[in-house]
Chain A
Amino acid sequence: MGVMTAEPRPVVDNTSDDPTRRAALVLGGRDFGSVSEVVCEIAERRKPTTGWYIAFAISAALTGVLGAMIVYLIGTGIGVWGVNAPVGWGFAIINFVFWVGIGHAGTLISAILFLFRQKWRTGINRFAEAMTIFAVICAGVFPAIHVGRIWFAYWLFPYPNQMAMWPNFRSPLLWDVFAVGTYFTVSLLFWYMGMVPDLATLRDRATNRVRQMVYGLLAMGWRGSNRHWQNYERVYLILAALATPLVLSVHSVVSFDFAVSILPGWHTTIFPPYFVAGAIFCGFAMVVLLAVPARQWFGLKDLITLRHLENMNKIILATGLMIGYAYFVEFFVAWYSGNAYEHFAFVNRQLGPYAWSYWIMVTCNVISPNLFWSKKIRTTPWMMFIVAVLVNIGMWFERFVIVVTSLSRDYLPSSWGYYKPTWVDLLTLLGSFGLFFMLFLLFLRFVPMVAMSEVKGIMAEADPHHGPSGPAAGAPADHGRVKV
């Protein structure tokens, strides 16, 4: 079966940074065949584990709660939420920005790391992309239901209508429709296209008619032809090049919802880069949060190695520092501008009625990622899991702080107010997590969760010059190889 490497593989700890040797990204002495085996086996089990059923039951129940809350909202009216006169944007916008932010890591891993030739992305890109798509679905629920009369939500789209009206293209809220819509579409294309060769693997391994038909249809008759791979690779590169500015644009556009207004605390030019850094920060934390249990339960430690996790933790650390810097610069600018309203808005965040949420945010986002300076914490799964949870909590509170503190106390003290979420708000948020995890569990069950063809392509055996059977001397020995 396949090709085994000539030399033994002594490395189990592949997190060493010894520059004289290339760290292995696939461990356990696996060859091409055993990569297919370990990944496909998960989607081919006749029955998933009991743990999967329990997790699925819980998340499906929570999805039901989400549905019930939406029905209740539509049937009764927006008054079931805690939004009030000064704070017209409550949980709906907070959750929207939170979920869109989570959705940024997938495309970042698949596109930006691809352009930078970071080969370790191959172990995690498939399920990071899946996570992106599901997070954007969760995000999409909220703008749709927060418009008030949701049966008119389709007015957001420019379609010819009997009212002879068109949407206002000078509004950032409409830019959002296009940005998030494009992001979802492109992420889905990227995900599906990357999966076609792996779906063909499942088709070729299928033993019963139904699986052959379903995976066969989805694989589109893919047969690994090199004339196809040529176009395929080119398109993959182009999609990566298109998705890279797209990732950066989406959260920039989301931040315009705030930055284009004239509210103190929102009207700042730092918002687009600061939002993008935050999105990458919490997106990677969500990938770590999902990867740690998934690699454990499905026996994928050879493919999603500690090095993969450690690399992600380093990105979390770096973006966490950027976030901390952004918080500091916002403060500095508020003071340096000499604008009394800006000044008040920021002091109010730290010391006002919502100071508790501000300090949760700082603790989780600025302090907790610094734990990743320690290699021990960066490479210990349960420890990084805790940090990842903290980061996600912190990033949710960041959006809470931005939305609520600025709205609840703006220019005119007589119109100040205090925003409290209702039980409907809280259950809707909880339900959106249910939807997210339910979709993710279905993905784990039916689709290859690691990009097999890409992982095989980065193995040492995949290099035509590997081993004794390579072509004659004279060909460049190390072309296209990049150290990871």
Chain B
Amino acid sequence: MAEDRDTRSDDGDLYGLLAEFATPGQLVHAAEAVREQGYEKWDCYSPFPVHGLDRAMGLRDTRLPWIVLGGGLTGAATAILMQWWMNAVDYPLIISGKPLFSLPANIPVAFELTILFSALSAFFAMFVFNGLPRMYHPAFRSERFRQVTNNRFFITIEAADPNFDIERSESLLRSLGSSHVERLED
């Protein structure tokens, strides 16, 4: 546990429980059980994406790809309109007798901007959907949680969950094979 934790008052600002697991198999198994107990405000943590964990947690498929589609369409439209307006409307310039606006000549730039806008929207949407950057999280107060980016697996159940009961939730996590359960303060 974090040493500086004691400097804060102990007036019940409990965030939840943090349980540590040793293997991906245990984590998936535990996640299935926690989901079946009807918890909603809880999460799993792992050093790498664990196969099958989304299903074990019962997560809905992410809607993020729609954002990317929107970004891509915006890119394509921007590129075509930009090239048409700049070369055929605002500054018409005849070069080698070529038409002022023709789709084939505008495809390369349209393609590149489609990719660029899609990639930028995918990248930023990932951080926005995940609520990052967020430098503080109650789990960071746990010394053991540092191993989450190394070789350990964790589950948190939040006290804000309607099903949460400190004794019952703790014994559930222990019964699922957690080697260490601790209380996290916010």
Contact = CB atoms under 8 A, between A and B. Distances in A.
Contacts of B25: 464-467, 469-471
A175 B108 contact: yes
A179 B23 contact: no
Given A36-B151, A231-B62, A226 B43 contact: yes
A238 B64 CA distance: 10
Contact of A225 (B27, B44, B51, B123): B44
A479 B51 CA distance: 9
Contacts of B108: 172, 175, 178-179, 249, 253, 256
Contact of A33 (B46, B127, B148, B151): B151
A171 to B, nearest CB: 8
B65 A164 contact: no
A221 B136 contact: yes
Nearest to B102: A170
A169 B149 contact: no
Interface in A185-207: 185-186, 189-190, 193, 197, 200-201, 203-205
Interface residues of A, number: 80
A2 B151 contact: yes
Interface of B is mostly: helix
A331 interface: no
B120 interface: yes
Contact of B49 (A31, A233, A242): A233
Contact of B64 (A36, A171, A227, A235): A235
A234 B113 contact: no
Contacts of A464: 23-25, 27-29, 50-53
Question: Which residue of B62, B112, B145, B146 has the most chain A CB atoms within 10 A of its CB atom?
Answer: B112
Given A169-B83, A467-B25, 17 more contacts: A166-B90, A186-B119, A201-B150, A223-B137, A224-B148, A225-B43, A227-B130, A232-B49, A235-B123, A238-B118, A242-B122, A245-B115, A249-B112, A457-B48, A462-B50, A464-B25, A464-B28
Interface of B: 22-29, 31-32, 43-54, 57, 59, 62, 64-65, 68, 82-83, 86-87, 90-91, 93, 95, 98, 105-106, 108-109, 111-113, 115-116, 118-120, 122-123, 125-127, 129-130, 132-137, 139-140, 145-151, 177
19 contacts: A3-B22, A32-B151, A33-B150, A36-B151, A164-B90, A166-B90, A169-B83, A170-B105, A172-B108, A221-B136, A224-B45, A226-B45, A232-B126, A232-B130, A462-B24, A464-B51, A466-B23, A469-B23, A469-B29
